[in-house]
Amino acid sequence: MVTTYFDCTGDNLGLAVVLPIDALHIDLVRCPSQLNDILQTSFILSKTCLSLGVVDGRNIWINDLEKSLSFIQKAVDILGEDRVMIAPSCSLLHSPCDLDNEKDETVLTAEIKQWMAFAKQKIEEVSTLKKLASIKDPKELASALNPNKGVIESRKKSSLIHKPQVKERVKNITDSDSRRANTFDIRQKKQEKALNLPLFPTTTIGSFPQTDEIRQLRAKLKNGTLSPEEYEEKVKSEIDRSVVWQEEIGIDVLVHGEFERNDMVEYFGEQLDGYVFSQNGWVQSYGSRCVKPPIIYGDIERSKPMTVKWSQYAQSKTNHYMKGMLTGPVTILQWSFVRDDQPRSETAMQIALAIRDEVTDLEKAGIKIIQIDEPAIREGLPLHKADWDKYLNWAVKAFRISASGVNDETQIHTHMCYSEFNDIISHIADMDADVITIETSRSQMELLDAFADFNYPNEIGPGVYDIHSPRVPGVQEIEHLLEKALAVIPARNLWVNPDCGLKTRKWAETELALKNMMIATKKLRQRVKETSGIEA
Ligand code: GLN
Ligand code: ZN
């Protein structure tokens, strides 16, 4: 049996249908059109069975049984019952185990729960479909389908899901919403004047060590042994300490440390309307790591600011710039379970508008530099290259909508990691962030070649050390990487930073590493001043 999934067999259809196999499995969730394509080939003359992936194995929504049945009936009509199998679209690895474990109605209400199916429920759906497919009497079939139809209908109409004002706002997005007022060269000059940062500005990517004590605080808040007021005070004192410490070692653009965040997507999901959370919906992420992705079930709306309070507080503690810190629309989408009743691009635009409102609120609150993280942008690429542009176009547009509501003087940063950038570099440039920080240290800055070859126009902070390891990088090592970066990036555009957030590290190693990063930067500034006369 050959099993294909997550996309059309596409160019390989001709090969797939003549393979000397007993059965071919196709994913009819991601590529419904391929059933007709296959049934028009010589496949129908063979003895090979066709396994129809009609139950979505990659998401958590209930199956539209009538729709699935129409695929099954079409296949049975042409191939005969004996050659048709019914299956989930792909492995159930990506689906949480059992919806019956979601017992707390204050977390997941009955109305929303009825629209869902986890792995166990999906297997039940497969077996239900088999039973339904054998019912010959149309009346009997109609009444057997009725309950499922009711649920599917309620999802189409529910005011919990559908909010006219959100849809309207997405419909009214104009071209100028995804464009800053001026081009980067003009913005850069204005920002240089307004921000007055030194050559090779130093910063970090956002999070500081999430120590056991901080995680305990959140656990205590959840179980009620710590009041929200006490929790807030404790987080504030963490911010205070980190601000003092960043000032002491001389970092130019500070961060508040993201101590209040459990996770960079969950934190936003918890505050956005249109999201729900499961209690036990764990899925494997990679290796032995598991995540509990938040679930987007309805139109996304931001009812109140999500981060402003913390950024404003942190900014009040220092005369340096405090970077506002947000997760971008594509990453929020990519790391959640998403709706299957509208295109991903539509959901992305809704999130983009919510983040845009947060960005403009941060600006209003006096935050001059705002980072919108998009580490997952590359992960969302479709399997077939022919589909890349379509995805990248809306993904980049979503980012730009989130970033473009601010004045020229406000500096927008983005951050990306886990990525090869070569094949999407023009789209990264198209995001038009004033500054991008990227993971490059593990490749000894080789990843930067893509940016250099492309003549990447905006400012870049190539990570100068690998945060995934507890090893503290030496000053010389960082200097060496910075020199390599400087060989391909104009001095004016080069930032200095670690290659990702520091939440998984311990304070001891973080302090040493960042101190070394500062020493290396100061040496580089001195060297450049002496050799080129550029004032650092
Ligand atoms: N701002 C986030 C952090 O510092 C970015 C994390 C990421 O890139 N995955 O943790
Ligand atoms: Zn990162």
CA 55, CA 127: separation in Å to the nearest integer?
11
Q: What is the pLDDT of residues 479-509, one digit of tens each?
A: 999 999 999 999 999 999 999 999 999 999 9
CA 384, CA 320: separation in Å to the nearest integer?
46
* CA 500 to centroid of ligand 2, rounded, Å: 4
CA-nearest residue, atom 4 of ligand 1: 501
Query: What residues does 207 pair with on adjacent strands?
Result: 257
**Residue 284: left if φ>0, alpha if ψ -120 to 50, beta else—which one?**
beta
Test site for ligand 1: of 414, 500, 505, 514, most ligand atoms within 8 A of the Cβ? 500
Closest CA to 239 of 254, 255, 256, 252: 256
CA 162, CA 143: separation in Å to the nearest integer?
28
CATH number of 166-211+251-532: 3.20.20.210
Do 2-157 and 166-211+251-532 agree at the fold level? Answer: yes
pLDDT for 16: 96
For the CA of 205, the closest atom of ligand 1 is 4
Q: What is the pTM of this model?
A: 0.96
* CA 221 to centroid of ligand 2, rounded, Å: 28
* CA 258 to centroid of ligand 1, rounded, Å: 9
Query: Ligand 1 pocket by C-beta < 6 Å: which residues?
Result: 205-207, 258, 264, 325, 373, 375, 415, 417, 500-501, 503
Test site for ligand 1: of 264, 437, 439, 440, most ligand atoms within 8 A of the Cβ? 264
* CA 52 to centroid of ligand 2, rounded, Å: 38
Catalytic residue among 94, 162, 320, 468: 468
Residue 9, both tokens: 């067999």
Strands 272-276 and 295-302: antiparallel
pLDDT for 446: 86
Number of H helices, E strands in the chain: 19, 14
CA 267, CA 310: separation in Å to the nearest integer?
13
Ligand with minimal distance to 438 CA: 2
* CA 43 to centroid of ligand 1, rounded, Å: 49
CATH architecture of 2-157: Alpha-Beta Barrel (3.20)
Ligand with minimal distance to 504 CA: 1
pLDDT for 534: 67
CA-nearest residue, atom 5 of ligand 1: 501
Question: Is the CB of residue 24 less than 8 Å from the CB of residue 16?
Answer: yes
Confidence tier at 289 by pLDDT (50, 70, 90): confident
Which of 5-19, 101-115, 415-429, 518-532 is the least confident region? 415-429
Query: What residues does 324 pair with on adjacent strands?
Result: 370
CA 240, CA 43: separation in Å to the nearest integer?
68
* CA 501 to centroid of ligand 1, rounded, Å: 4
Q: What is the pLDDT of residues 393-419, one digit of tens each?
A: 999 999 999 999 999 999 999 999 877
pLDDT for 535: 61
**413 is a catalytic site residue:** no
Q: Taking residues 333-345, report their average pLDDT.
A: 96
CA-nearest residue, atom 9 of ligand 1: 375
Test site for ligand 1: of 415, 499, 510, most ligand atoms within 8 A of the Cβ? 415
CA-nearest residue, atom 3 of ligand 1: 501
Q: Taking residues 357-385, report their average pLDDT.
A: 95
* CA 415 to centroid of ligand 2, rounded, Å: 6
Q: What is the DSSP letter of 382?
A: -
Which of 302-311, 329-338, 377-386 is the least confident region? 377-386
CA 268, CA 280: separation in Å to the nearest integer?
19
Q: Taking residues 144-172, report their average pLDDT.
A: 98
Confidence tier at 422 by pLDDT (50, 70, 90): confident
pLDDT for 107: 86
Question: Is the CB of residue 139 less than 8 Å from the CB of residue 160?
Answer: no
CA-nearest residue, atom 10 of ligand 1: 501
Distances from the Cα of 59 to the Cα of 76, 283, 339, 419, 429, angstroms: 26, 11, 8, 24, 32
DSSP code per residue over 179-206: S-SS-HHHHHHHHHHHH-PPSS-BB--S
* CA 207 to centroid of ligand 2, rounded, Å: 10
For the CA of 371, the closest atom of ligand 1 is 1
CA-nearest residue, atom 6 of ligand 1: 501
Q: What is the pLDDT of residues 28-86, one digit of tens each?
A: 999 999 999 999 999 999 999 999 999 999 999 999 999 999 999 999 999 999 999 99
501-504: Cβ within 8 A, 24+ apart: 501/204, 501/205, 501/206, 501/207, 501/258, 501/264, 501/467, 502/204, 502/205, 502/207, 502/208, 502/209, 502/467, 503/207, 503/208, 503/209, 503/210, 503/258, 504/209, 504/210, 504/467, 504/468
Task: Please report, for the chain, the start and end positions of each structural domain, with discontinuous segments joined by +.
Answer: 2-157, 166-211+251-532
**Contacts for 225 with CB less than 8 Å, ≥ 6 apart:** none
Ligand with minimal distance to 417 CA: 2
For the CA of 375, the closest atom of ligand 1 is 8
CA 488, CA 473: separation in Å to the nearest integer?
22
For the CA of 325, the closest atom of ligand 1 is 1
